[in-house]
Amino acid sequence: MAIGSEIIGQALKRQGADMFFYIMGGPMMHTELATMGQGIRGIDVRHEQAAAMMAFAYARLRNRPGICMAASGPATTNLVTGVAHAWADCTPVIALGGASPDVSTGHGVFQEIEQLPMFEPCTKWADRVHDPRRIPELINRAFHEAMGGKPGPVYLDLPGDVLYAEVDENKIEWPDPWDPSKRARPAASDAEVRQIVERLKNAKQPVIISGSGILWSEAPDELQKFVEATGIPFFTTPQGRGVIPEDHDYCYLTARSTAFREADVILVLGTRMNYIIGHAAPPRFNADASVMRVDIDPGEIANSPRKLDVGVVGDVKTVLGQLTDALQGQVTPDNYATWRERLRGYNSEKEEAAEKVLSNPSRPVHPLRLCKEVRDFIDRDGILCVDGQEILNFGRQAMPTFTPGHRLNSGCFGTMGVGLPFGVGAKAAKPDKQVVVVHGDGSFGFNAMELDTAVRNDLPITVVISLNGGWTADPKNEKPGRNLGFTRFDQMAESLGCYGEFVEDPDEIRPALYRAREANEAGKVALVNVRTDENAGATTTAFTQYRT
């Protein structure tokens, strides 16, 4: 005989889970113990929202579901922001929430609240277990739902009486677990391939916009081959960066707006046409451009905010392979040489001008100078997490990414507080990689205690804080509740067992970063607190009608 909690541990093991993020508490304690008893690493955190955010980072770096667990009531409600963030960024997080007993629903028992409806709007699938014999089936469904088609978070509600109910293990049916090699990979039809080829043959100024779909589909190599065979300039969403190294000949980071405005063909690959890319609509994009799109989700194709000339429901890895074959001898990089030359010229001019600003020697440190120091310090295959507003916007073009998916940020939900949990989850997922988190001082505060999680769980990352004394820049002193003071987060970090440094001189940033790296190499978490200019506000495309 076994109890429901033990069945969960076994089910997770069969699905290939190797890690989960959690805070202990009833009725989940036995589930957490049973899961660890299966040899699955449990990382105990300090806030459940951070557990969900760590699971998010794990999922993105390992291309498999990240798992988080929480106790009932307030612990599970704490998961919501992290799960909602995963929903907004289409990331496969499996959230397991303990719940008050099924049998006493509505009797006002300990930590009772209807949890399932809270997760319905922010998951792809949410359900409640009523019978422990169905746990393997529902855990299996959770993995398939999270990873199938366009990925996303799922939630399973686990009432205490079900977790502690006894079942005869011999009567349990174990389904075949989720298998990444069996991912559905629908292809484009011959007619669709022909239509795309025709349009690219006639194009003069095409662009590619790719997103996280390239990562989930394991298609970075296919994208790079396609780009190199055709010579089409490529741009990515902030979440889908690094799919092709950003110092590639056909990457023009700072010519993005010009390329979007002037493109005559827009090829949208594995990304939503949401506000992040201005819905691919005028005036940011040419109104006369033809728009072609490949997406695994039929809903995305059907719901495109701009009329598509060709909309392919397909797996982007498969379709890119088809297109590269079909375009052979039809389109070569020569087709678009003039277009690329124009973008390259523009890009180099802007980069040269930017390099001067990036080297700004002033005190307090300009955030761009901080970005330059991090850029010149971080490993080429290091994982960079960025969170904040000004520092995020300044960092966007100032710090490139060279490895697929090795850039995590506040994403399209704009969630402040993700940076540190992302860094901790990333280090847990990829222990051999250097992990650097560049954090605004305000956003750092949300989950600052996760420094302690990193220390206790031996996850040596480096956190760099842009200490501009509050939320965003406020040169005219007109924002409510903006000022936070210049907190010595380095001292706070030291008191938690980290290595800490406080830096005011721009020339001292790099040496401090190298000392932080030494601390990491010696197994210590490090925090470098850099006093930055509170008046330095980044200009960026307006995403909304209001500004933060």
Ligand X SMILES: Cc1ncc(C[n+]2csc(CCOP(=O)(O)OP(=O)(O)O)c2C)c(N)n1
- Partner from ligand X, Mg ion, none contacting 230, C-beta within 5 to 8 A by type: none
Tokens (6 digits) for 216: 């989930």
DSSP 463: E
Work out how close the CB of 413 gets to ligand X at its nearest, in angstroms, rounded to a whole number. Answer: 8
CA pair distance 173, 10, nearest whole angstrom? 12
List, in order, residues 6 or more apart from 103 with CB less than 8 Å away: 161
The strand pairing partners of 20, in sequence order, are: 42
Contact 49, 70 (CB under 8 A): no
- Of 141 and 439, nearer to Mg ion (C-beta) is 439
- Partner from Mg ion, ligand X, none contacting 548, C-beta within 5 to 8 A by type: ligand X
Tokens (6 digits) for 247: 């110092």
Return the residue of 189, 332, 338, 548 that touches ligand X, per CB under 6 A.
548
- Of 76 and 393, nearer to Mg ion (C-beta) is 393
Tokens (6 digits) for 43: 């990382």
Asked if 314 interacts with Mg ion (CB under 5 A), we say no
CA pair distance 161, 130, nearest whole angstrom? 9
The strand pairing partners of 93, in sequence order, are: 66
List, in order, residues 6 or more apart from 249 with CB less than 8 Å away: none
Return the residue of 25, 132, 213, 417 that touches ligand X, per CB under 6 A.
417
Asked if 443 interacts with ligand X (CB under 6 A), we say yes
Work out how close the CB of 468 gets to Mg ion at its nearest, in angstroms, rounded to a whole number. Answer: 4
Return the residue of 78, 205, 239, 389 that touches ligand X, per CB under 6 A.
389
Q: b/e per residue, 444-456, with b = 16+ CB within 10 A?
A: bbbbbebbbbbbe
Return the residue of 59, 69, 416, 436 that touches ligand X, per CB under 6 A.
416
Work out how close the CB of 484 gets to ligand X at its nearest, in angstroms, rounded to a whole number. Answer: 7
Nearest to 308 by CA among 192, 139, 404, 482: 192
Tokens (6 digits) for 442: 């305000």
- Choices 29-37, 222-230, 384-392, 513-521 (CB under 6 A): range interacting with ligand X: 384-392
Asked if 414 interacts with ligand X (CB under 6 A), we say yes
Ranges within 302-341 binding ligand X (CB under 6 A): none
At residue 368, φ and ψ (nearest 5 deg) are -65, -35
- Partner from ligand X, Mg ion, none contacting 443, C-beta within 5 to 8 A by type: ligand X
Contact 89, 411 (CB under 8 A): yes
How far is residue 538 from each of residues 8, 368, 394, 419, 545, measured CA to CA in Å? 47, 9, 6, 19, 17
What is the Cβ-side half-sphere exposure of residue 43, based on CA atoms within 13 angstroms? 34
Return the residue of 9, 149, 151, 440 that touches Mg ion, per CB under 5 A.
440
- Partner from Mg ion, ligand X, none contacting 419, C-beta within 5 to 8 A by type: none
How far is residue 370 from each of residues 260, 364, 475, 528, measured CA to CA in Å? 29, 11, 19, 11
Work out how close the CB of 398 gets to Mg ion at its nearest, in angstroms, rounded to a whole number. Answer: 17
Asked if 441 interacts with Mg ion (CB under 5 A), we say yes
- Choices 16-24, 65-73, 267-275, 433-441 (CB under 5 A): range interacting with Mg ion: 433-441
CA pair distance 373, 378, nearest whole angstrom? 9
CA pair distance 153, 421, nearest whole angstrom? 17
Work out how close the CB of 356 gets to ligand X at its nearest, in angstroms, rounded to a whole number. Answer: 22
Helix, strand, coil share of the chain (percent; to 5): 45, 15, 40
- Of 423 and 442, nearer to ligand X (C-beta) is 442
Q: How many residues are present in the chain?
A: 548
Work out how close the CB of 467 gets to Mg ion at its nearest, in angstroms, rounded to a whole number. Answer: 7
How far is residue 77 from each of residues 112, 114, 352, 360, 410, measured CA to CA in Å? 11, 10, 48, 45, 20
Asked if 364 interacts with ligand X (CB under 6 A), we say no
Asked if 420 interacts with ligand X (CB under 6 A), we say no
Residue found by looking up tokens 């002033």 in the block:
362
Ranges within 136-155 binding ligand X (CB under 6 A): none
Nearest to 275 by CA among 82, 412, 85: 412
Return the residue of 25, 419, 442, 500 that touches Mg ion, per CB under 5 A.
442
Please tell me whether residue 29 adopts helix, strand or coil conformation. helix
- Partner from ligand X, Mg ion, none contacting 15, C-beta within 5 to 8 A by type: none
Contact 267, 308 (CB under 8 A): no
Return the residue of 43, 156, 391, 509 that touches ligand X, per CB under 6 A.
391
Work out how close the CB of 417 gets to ligand X at its nearest, in angstroms, rounded to a whole number. Answer: 6
Return the residue of 149, 382, 395, 440 that touches ligand X, per CB under 6 A.
440
Ranges within 453-512 binding ligand X (CB under 6 A): 466, 468, 471-472
User: In the complex, which residue's CB is closest to ligand X?
Assistant: 440
Contact 526, 494 (CB under 8 A): no
Work out how close the CB of 120 gets to ligand X at its nearest, in angstroms, rounded to a whole number. Answer: 21
Work out how close the CB of 473 gets to Mg ion at its nearest, in angstroms, rounded to a whole number. Answer: 8
Q: How many residues bind Mg ion (CB under 5 A)?
A: 4
Asked if 230 interacts with ligand X (CB under 6 A), we say no
In the stretch 462-481, what mask flags binding to Mg ion with x, by CB under 5 A? ------x-------------
List, in order, residues 6 or more apart from 172 with CB less than 8 Å away: 7, 133, 136
- Of 335 and 532, nearer to ligand X (C-beta) is 532
Asked if 237 interacts with ligand X (CB under 6 A), we say no
- Of 101 and 367, nearer to Mg ion (C-beta) is 367
- Partner from Mg ion, ligand X, none contacting 391, C-beta within 5 to 8 A by type: ligand X
Asked if 82 interacts with ligand X (CB under 6 A), we say no
Give contact residues for Mg ion (rule: CB under 5 A). 440-442, 468
Binding site for ligand X (CB under 6 A): 388-391, 414-417, 440-443, 466, 468, 471-472, 548
